[in-house]
Amino acid sequence: MDNQKKQVSNPKSQRLNIHVNGELKNESQAIYQQLGLDMSTAVTLFLKQSTADKGIPCFAPVLKMITVTRQNKLAR
């Protein structure tokens, strides 16, 4: 039998590898640490809110306002 560990896939957890600017990562990580969050938890919160908003969380109100404005102009 091999001494290597077998990788077990967990359907509830998957790895996400992303590339970001190093300064952005460090500044964000410091903010999240002050809030008691690690980067993984912060990204998970962002993704959950994206799913709930069906869009980018911080832009959802702005996009909604733009959509309503466009609809109002078309209705005239």
Output the pTM of the full model: 0.62
Residue 41 placed within a domain: yes
| The residue to which tokens 């590898």 are assigned | 17
Residue 6 placed within a domain: no
Q: What is the pLDDT of residues 1-31, one digit of tens each?
A: 444 444 455 668 899 999 999 999 999 999 9
Q: In 3D, which of 67, 70, 46 has the Cα closest to residue 57?
A: 46
Structure tokens at 64: 């909604």
Q: How many other C-beta atoms lie within 10 A of the C-beta of residue 72?
A: 9
Q: For residue 32, is pLDDT > 90?
A: yes
Residue 3 placed within a domain: no
CA–CA gap between residue 16 and residue 43 (Å, rounded):
10
Radius of gyration of the chain (CA): 20
User: Which range of residues forms the domain containing residue 54?
Assistant: 22-75
Q: What is the pLDDT of residues 38-57, one digit of tens each?
A: 999 999 999 998 899 888 88
- The predicted pLDDT at position 9 comes to 54
Which residues touch 50 (CB under 8 Å, ≥6 apart)?
56, 57
Q: How many domains in the chain?
A: 1
